[in-house]
Amino acid sequence: MVPLQQATHTVPIVFVQVTDAVGAGFVESLSRPGGNATGFSLSEYGFSAKWLELLKEIAPRMTRAGVLRDPSNPSGIGLLAAIQGAAPALDVEVSPLGVRDVGEIERVITAFAQRPNGALILVPTALTVINRQLIINLAARHRLPAIYPYRYFVEAGGLMSYGTNAVDAFRQVGVYAGRILKGAKPSDLPVVQASKFELAINLATAMMLGLEVPPTLLARADEVIE
C-alpha cells in the first residue's frame, strides 16, 4: 500500500481491512483522509484481546497461547500488545510465533505444540490467510484449539473465529469505488471503521479436540457449524 502511494498521488486508492490507517500513514485522519486513499478499517487494536478471552472460554485448560503472525507486518505489533495485555488476568503465557514463509509455518506450529495446554491465535496477514488450510490442518494434527480472524476459516474446519465480515467489507469497497467513479474524491470520503464483529464456532472441530462448548458461548455465536 505505501509503495503504491509513493508511486502515485493522483490515482484513487480504496483499501480494505487495514487495522490502523492513520498509524500506517495511509491517511491523515479517519474523518478527512486528505490524500488519494480511503477505505475500510478494522477497529482499534484492543479488539484482539477478545481473541484470547474467547479462546480461554472454549479451552479453559489453556495456559499457553501462540500468536501466529508475520513480524514484517506493522499492524501485528499493536494486535500482539493487546493480547499480551489481557494475558495476566487469564493466567496465560503468550508467545509470539513469527512466520515469514510457508516452511516456517509448519516448523513453528510443530515446535509450539511440543508442550501441553497450548492454543493458537492467528493474526491476519496475506501469508496466514493464503495458507489458512495448512494452518487449520496443523492445528488439528497437533490438537491445538485455535481462533481465527474470519468466518471462512471456521467454514474450512477451524475451531472458531471472531472478526469482521470480510465479504461485506469488500462489498463496501465496491460502493466507495462507484462513488469515486462518479466524481467523489477519496480525500472527502471518511475511512469507515468496523463496528460489528461476528463469532463463529465449528462444533465438529470442537468435538474432535475434545472440547465442550459452553452454552453461554453458543448463545452468543452468530454462526454455529455442526
Question: In CATH terms, are 2-42+166-193 and 45-163+198-225 the same topology?
Answer: yes
Dmax of the chain from CA atoms? 57
For residue 123, which of 92, 152, 91, 97 has the smallest C-alpha distance? 97
Residue-level pLDDT at 73? 77
Residue-level pLDDT at 43? 59
Name residues of the chain where pLDDT drops below 50: 1, 4
CA-to-CA distance for 68 and 142, rounded, in angstroms?
15
What pLDDT, in 10s, does the model give residues 16-44?
Answer: 877 767 767 788 888 888 888 888 876 56
Residue-level pLDDT at 8? 57
CA-to-CA distance for 215 and 106, rounded, in angstroms?
33
**148 half-sphere exposure, CB direction, 13 A CA radius:** 26
> Are 34 and 187 a contacting pair, CB within 8 Å?
yes
Residue-level pLDDT at 62? 97
Distance of CA 150 to the CA centre of its chain: 7
Coil, helix or strand at residue 148: strand
- Rg of the chain's alpha carbons, rounded to an integer? 18
Q: Provide the CATH number for the domain formed by 2-42+166-193 in this structure.
A: 3.40.50.2300
Q: Provide the CATH number for the domain formed by 45-163+198-225 in this structure.
A: 3.40.50.2300
Residue-level pLDDT at 77? 81
Domain extents in the chain: 2-42+166-193, 45-163+198-225
> Are 145 and 112 a contacting pair, CB within 8 Å?
no
